[in-house]
């Protein structure tokens, strides 16, 4: 009898929770319909005849209004329940309430949009054509602002380079997947870092890509037809859940999706591309030879997957746009959060295991003040009150502002790696200090076995399912491994702030043709807790550039400059600065199998005996941007 009662109670709880969710959604949709003219499944025509499914929410007014436009690969069908559907309605309500039309559209080939989808390869003309269509609507004032996070942000930069006259402003958030090449970064949409594959897209594609045999709406279906059938059919894929920590361990990496019965056509093309392959420079990625011509309010976060390239892009646009007004109207916010988690900051924001304090910010007020300025022409106080850069400093746990990134009063200070030849693990003798190393060549040796890689533990990640949990975690659990070299400063006699890009130069040797080198920057507390701040990697074959592969000779010493990291962290008095160096950070990054082969089609690796050298001849070092008092 007790068991039966327990089951009934659980059923009631589930019913109540589900009913509450649906009621909240019904409430926001009801409020929206009170103030908005709602047009769903408007099939917006592109120049090649393909039609893109679009929902339009606009104020009930005879006046012409500006438009906030969001284009996405995700479903925004408002029928049924679900957080994403409610979120779309909430954003539409907020925009319409403030006098904007809110337009949300699926990329071509997604859900009810016609055509074939290609991640990072959607024609730029789709964005341009959408701007032209919206500008010409009788209810439009001809001003369009783009808004979105992650996949809803990544397309904005390349389209902005087309300089459509109606594209008046944009707000890209967590936009790294749209960054192709910027300066020394050849991210190619988060596919690479330092020439090593980031496995986030391997996992993401499994969950989102529609099958080529998906149900398709007949060509020419009317808006009435589409609205009717959308009440019954979501066209949303739902692959069986998989253990991504196990799935990402499969070799060769080109067969990862096949091994879990995922769709492979797009993946198969991408996994074979080198970092400088010509196909990366077609389609939807932004590259630094493109002039970005739109005033922009950028949002990034310290524990996002591509914080450094994001900041490099901000600087590139601010310094290189051909239009002086565009250069002067680039603003940036850097939050201490995970990917797209800006508004989830609380009075006690926990990122991983570390508390970074009260990280809240008035995001909506600033974003709409920005749009009011550029889309409505209001002469408001945004420019007078908003710093060019707002950044959150962890450790001191406070928002700060600057006119540039890095802050003007930061100065690069070199810290050298030192040891007596035994920096292996937390218990080794590796040190980090401003004192240059001696003339005697010392080296720290470790063995990298790709079949037993260093496991990713926290970090600046996104979209890997259960394989990696992002954020700051106590790294001591990892630092007992002998294949991790640990270099730590003495406890600081006074606190110091590091805000900016962190540069690393390592002098390395190996007994294999090719391997990787990884680094983490860490804040060590007096009680020993060691919280990771940022991390990066470099595949040695690309040390001279991504347009060529240069392999190593056994025992020869090479200088390797790793792609810069970035952070803002206050190391309090008594804390120490630490770096970890190894040759793997898996499954954040694909393992280098050390063979010198193509890596993507190999399943057997070889062990590498790797060395870090430090002496006056081989001054391995990091350069830290220390902010003056």
Q: Residue 436, by phi and psi: left (phi above 0), alpha (psi -120 to 50) or beta? A: beta
The torsion angles phi and psi of 119, rounded to 5 degrees, stand at: -55, 130
Mind listing the pLDDT tens digit for each residue in 317-373? 999 999 999 999 999 999 999 999 998 899 999 999 999 999 999 999 999 999 999
Contact 525, 575 (CB under 8 A): yes
Residue 25: asked if its preceding bond is cis (omega within 30°), the reply is no
Mind listing the pLDDT tens digit for each residue in 85-127? 678 899 999 999 999 999 999 999 999 999 988 886 677 899 9
Structural domains in the chain, sorted by start: 1-152 (3.40.50.1820), 410-627 (2.60.120.260)
Mind listing the pLDDT tens digit for each residue in 240-275? 899 999 999 999 999 999 999 988 888 999 999 999
Neighbours of 512 (CB within 10 A): 21
Percentage of the residues of the chain whose pLDDT score is greater than 90: 83
This prediction's pTM? 0.94
The torsion angles phi and psi of 162, rounded to 5 degrees, stand at: -80, -15
Q: What local confidence, expressed as pLDDT, does residue 19 receive?
A: 43
Mind listing the pLDDT tens digit for each residue in 1-28? 433 333 333 333 333 334 434 577 788 8
Residue whose token pair is 């893109």: 52
Q: pLDDT tier at 84 (50, 70, 90 boundaries)?
A: low
Distance, in Å, from the CA atom of 235 to the CA atom of 229, rounded to the nearest integer, reads 10
Token reading at 61: 């007014």
Per-residue DSSP letters for 299-368?
A: EEEEESTTHHHHHHHHHHHHHH-SSHHHHH-EEEEEEEEETT-GGG--TT-EEBTEE-------HHHHHH
Q: What local confidence, expressed as pLDDT, does residue 83 receive?
A: 63
CA distance readout (Å), 402 to 410, 435, 565, 570:
11, 31, 19, 16
Contact 497, 627 (CB under 8 A): yes
Residue 139 host element (H or E): none
Percentage of the residues of the chain whose pLDDT score is greater than 70: 95
Mind listing the pLDDT tens digit for each residue in 428-485? 999 999 999 988 889 999 999 999 999 999 999 999 999 999 999 999 999 999 999 9
Q: What is the mean pLDDT of residues 559-580?
A: 98
Mind listing the pLDDT tens digit for each residue in 489-543? 999 999 999 999 999 999 999 999 999 999 999 999 999 999 999 999 999 999 9
Q: What local confidence, expressed as pLDDT, does residue 82 receive?
A: 58
């Amino acid at each position: 009898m007790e068991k039966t009662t327990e089951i009934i109670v659980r059923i009631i709880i589930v019913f109540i929770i589900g009913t509450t969710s649906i009621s909240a959604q019904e409430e926001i949709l009801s409020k929206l319909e009170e103030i908005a003219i709602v047009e769903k499944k408007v099939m917006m025509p592109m120049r090649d005849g393909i039609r893109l499914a679009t929902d339009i929410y606009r104020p009930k007014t005879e006046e012409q209004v500006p438009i906030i436009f969001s284009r996405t690969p995700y479903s925004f069908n408002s029928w049924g329940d679900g957080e994403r559907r409610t979120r779309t309605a909430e954003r539409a309500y907020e925009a319409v309430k403030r006098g904007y039309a809110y337009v949300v559209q699926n990329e071509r080939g997604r859900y009810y949009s016609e055509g074939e989808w290609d991640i990072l390869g959607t024609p730029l003309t789709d964005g341009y054509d959408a701007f032209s269509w919206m500008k010409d609507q009788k209810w439009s004032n001809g001003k369009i602002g783009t808004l979105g996070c992650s996949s809803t942000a990544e397309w904005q930069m390349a389209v902005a380079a087309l300089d459509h006259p109606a594209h008046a402003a944009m707000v890209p958030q967590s936009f790294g997947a749209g960054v192709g090449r910027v300066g020394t970064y050849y991210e190619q949409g988060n596919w690479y870092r330092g020439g090593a594959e980031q496995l986030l897209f391997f996992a993401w594609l499994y969950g989102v890509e529609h099958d080529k045999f998906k149900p398709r709406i007949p060509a020419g279906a009317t808006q009435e037809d589409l609205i009717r059938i959308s009440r019954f059919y979501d066209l949303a894929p739902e692959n069986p859940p998989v253990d991504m920590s196990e799935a990402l361990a499969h070799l060769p990496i080109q067969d990862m999706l096949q091994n879990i019965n995922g769709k492979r056509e797009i993946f198969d093309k991408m996994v074979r591309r080198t970092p400088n392959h010509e196909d990366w420079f077609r389609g939807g990625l932004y590259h630094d030879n493109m002039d970005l011509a739109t005033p922009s309010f950028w949002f990034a976060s310290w524990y996002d997957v591509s914080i450094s390239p994001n900041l490099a892009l901000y600087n590139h646009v601010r310094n290189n746009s051909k239009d002086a007004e565009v250069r002067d109207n680039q603003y940036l916010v850097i939050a201490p959060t995970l990917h797209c988690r800006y508004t989830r900051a609380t009075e006690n924001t926990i990122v991983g295991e570390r508390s970074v304090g009260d990280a809240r910010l008035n995001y909506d007020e600033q974003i709409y003040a920005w749009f009011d300025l550029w889309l409505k022409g209001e002469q408001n106080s945004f420019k007078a009150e908003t710093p060019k850069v707002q950044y959150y400093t962890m450790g001191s746990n406070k928002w700060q502002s600057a006119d540039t990134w890095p802050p003007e009063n930061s100065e690069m200070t070199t810290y050298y790696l030192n040891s007596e030849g035994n920096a292996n693990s937390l218990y080794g003798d590796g040190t980090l200090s401003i004192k240059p190393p001696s003339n005697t060549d010392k080296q720290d040796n470790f063995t990298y076995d790709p079949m037993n890689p260093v496991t990713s533990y926290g970090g600046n990640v996104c979209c890997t399912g259960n394989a990696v949990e992002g954020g700051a975690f106590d790294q001591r659990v990892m630092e007992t491994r002998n294949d991790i070299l640990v270099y730590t400063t003495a406890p600081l006699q006074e606190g110091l702030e590091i805000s900016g890009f962190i540069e690393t130069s390592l002098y390395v040797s190996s007994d294999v043709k090719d391997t990787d080198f990884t680094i983490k920057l860490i804040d060590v507390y007096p009680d020993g807790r060691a919280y990771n701040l940022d991390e990066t990697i470099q595949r040695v074959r690309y040390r001279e550039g991504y347009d060529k592969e240069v392999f190593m000779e056994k025992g020869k010493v090479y200088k390797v400059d790793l792609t810069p990291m970035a952070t803002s962290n206050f190391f309090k008095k008594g804390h120490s600065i630490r770096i970890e160096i190894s040759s793997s950070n898996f499954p954040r990054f694909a393992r280098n199998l050390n063979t010198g082969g193509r890596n993507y089609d190999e399943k057997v690796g070889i062990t590498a005996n790797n060395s870090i050298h430090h002496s006056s001849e081989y001054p391995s070092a990091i350069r830290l941007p220390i902010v003056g008092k």
